[in-house]
Structures are given as structure tokens and as C-alpha cells.
Structure 1
Amino acid sequence: MFASRNCVSISEPIVLLNPTGTMRERHAILDGIGDETRLRALLVAGDRATFERLYRRHDGAMVRVCTAIVGNRAAAEEVVQDGWIAILQNIGGFEGRASLAGWMFAIVLNKAKSRARRDGRSVSFDAGGA
């Protein structure tokens, strides 16, 4: 479907699999100016440029948060990769009740919590950074 973590192209320009809309529209959407319904539609249509920009924007933060939850970066990267797969598989079900970023992070965080439970690691979310 889309490139894996180690294969995502970061060079511009990006060749589109299913070009939809103008480059300016896609950039505006990803910069928070556009409509998340349109962003969802681009992702459902398999627009590679939209996915790659979204990936570059959020992947690092997802890995950092998951590292804190699961305890090591390698496991966190696996969790986030599984999260991206789940996001792409379920993007059609995004209803817009929360922001797209919030919805994506919820998916990834749930996967990280499940991994931490499976691996026997407990993380207190009540500690408040203590």
C-alpha cells in the first residue's frame, strides 16, 4: 500500500499515485487550513503525497510518546508502524468527532498501551511527570 518506515521518501517533488486536487490544496489541508474530510478522502483514495506528508509530520512524535510507554525505541517503532497500518486500514471510519491527528494518536497510543501490558510494563498516567 504505502512505504514502510525505512522507505518513505522525503525528497520533493513526490510523485502521486492518485493525484487529487492541487498541490497547494494538499499542503493547505496538511497545514491545518483545509478540511479534514478532504484529507480523509485523499487518504482513502491512496494519495501517496498526502500520506507521506502526514507521516513526516506525526511519526517522530508518535515514536517518542510510544517509547515512553513501551520502554524502548525499537518496540516503539514497531508499535507506531502497526499504528500507521491500522490508521490506513480504518481511515474510512474516521468520522471527524475529533481532529484527525487526535484520532491517529489515539490509535497509536492504544497499540502502545496494549504492547506495554503484553510485555508486562506498567506506566502510570497519573504521575504528572513526577
Structure 2
Amino acid sequence: MLRSTSAQMLRQLVRYRSSETSLILERINRVQLLGRVGQDPVMRQVEGRNPVTIFSLATNEMWRTGEDISQKTTWHRVSVFKPGLRDVAYQYVKKSSRILVEGKLDYGEYVDKNQVRRQATTIIANIVFLSDN
């Protein structure tokens, strides 16, 4: 299913001329993550802006080298801006819940408390599928 959908999208993109293709390719920014929530969500609001629900999500990657099994955990910051969705995420997402997050990547910069400029990657969630637990 996924391969056929991807193949259809690619065929449609190839049909467009070069000037149009770059515009279409720039719109594809999609990520899906399946993992466990690292902490209970928090809702924050900056003056003059709508509130946002934020939580961390851990994804694990495992591989085998001979008889050894290795694991790598990657932490992701998830932000939910949509009014109905952010409230549902804030209410029902809990620490250690297993969830699927769908959204887009967002890259930004901030200055920490020591006045050091840092880069941050955030998943802007469009859909959060909650587990049964």
C-alpha cells in the first residue's frame, strides 16, 4: 500500500516541469514516529500566541551484530498546536504511553539561560494516535 502510494506520488511529480517540481517537492515534509512518551505533556503559552502542548517521545532502534544485540534510543520533542488536538493530547497522553505521532519537522534556534545559541528540532504533530492503555 505504502509503496504504491509513494510510486503514484513520484509519477505525478515527474510529470511536472522543473520549475513546478521544485515547488511540489518542497511541500513534502512528513514524519511518523512510534514510541513511548518520556514525560507527561505540558501546556505552554507565550504572550500573544495560542497555547501549545509539548512532550518528549522516545523511539528505539535495535540491531544484531553476530550474537550481540544493540539498541539506540532517540528522543524527539513533539509540539501540538491545533486547538482540539492539543487539548486531547494534554489530557490523554501520559508518561510511558505508547503512541504514534504524525506531523512535520520544524527546525529552529533559541538562546539558552547561559546565552548560548542552540538549535532545536521539533515534530509539529497533526495526528496523535493514542494507545489503549
TM-score bin (small chain)? under 0.3
Q: Could you tell me the TM-score, scaled by structure 2's length?
A: 0.22
Which structure: greater helix fraction?
1
Which structure: greater strand fraction?
2
Q: Could you tell me the TM-score, scaled by structure 1's length?
A: 0.22
